[in-house]
Amino acid sequence: MSALLDVDQLMDKLEAGLRGLLNERGIESPVLIGIRTGGVWVADIIGKRLGIEEPFGELDISFYRDDFSRIGLNPKVTPSSLPFDTEGRDIILVDDVIMSGRTIRAAMNELFDYGRPASIILATLIDLGARELPIQPDVAGQSLTLGMQQRVKLRGPDPLRIELQETEQ
């Protein structure tokens, strides 16, 4: 099974949801931060759609993961890059998929080491449920419940496509 979900449709929903929320909260100049790797691709597209001209930031959460004491350090860490001061800003934090919520916890811990943002909105392209922490996206392109053997993965960056895979056993 593959390409069950249409990326453009999900982006449409994510864009509409974000526009509504920004409007409702009266946020005029948000900045985008994508979580590597998939979240960065989504942030790039959403930024263009929302007409945000400020370059987006990229977070590599390797130093903040909660499984260091089980698996050690990710050998392929790359520097995070936030080309703006986060202090007092309204941030849209973007990831491709949310499941346990652990990645978002790590990302928020990292974000606060750069300063104190005014607010953070969490936007994900796909919400797979199966949460292990009390963290929920404010906007999601699509909610999805996977079977035990199913896995979903965003491939990209060009073209961006969603793969739904059946695993063995």
Pairing between strand 31-35 and 150-155?
unpaired
Task: Choose between 76 and 147: whose C-beta lies nearer to another protein.
Answer: 76
Task: Choose between 6 and 87: whose C-beta lies nearer to another protein.
Answer: 87
| H or E element in which residue 166 lies | strand 161-166
> Using CA atoms, how far apart are residues 127 and 145, in angstroms rounded to an integer?
8
CA distances 19 to 25, 29, 113, Å, are 10, 12, 28
State in angstroms the smallest separation of the CB of 39 from another protein.
17
For residue 22, the cross-strand partners are none
State in angstroms the smallest separation of the CB of 112 from another protein.
8
Task: Choose between 70 and 134: whose C-beta lies nearer to another protein.
Answer: 70
Task: Choose between 69 and 169: whose C-beta lies nearer to another protein.
Answer: 69
Q: Which residues bind another protein (CB under 8 A)?
A: 60, 62-64, 68-73, 75-81, 109, 112-115
State in angstroms the smallest separation of the CB of 64 from another protein.
6
CA distances 149 to 1, 101, 166, Å, are 12, 20, 6
State in angstroms the smallest separation of the CB of 87 from another protein.
8
> Using CA atoms, how far apart are residues 167 and 139, in angstroms rounded to an integer?
28
Task: Choose between 17 and 55: whose C-beta lies nearer to another protein.
Answer: 55
Find out whether 103 and 114 touch, Cβ atoms under 8 Å.
no
State in angstroms the smallest separation of the CB of 126 from another protein.
27
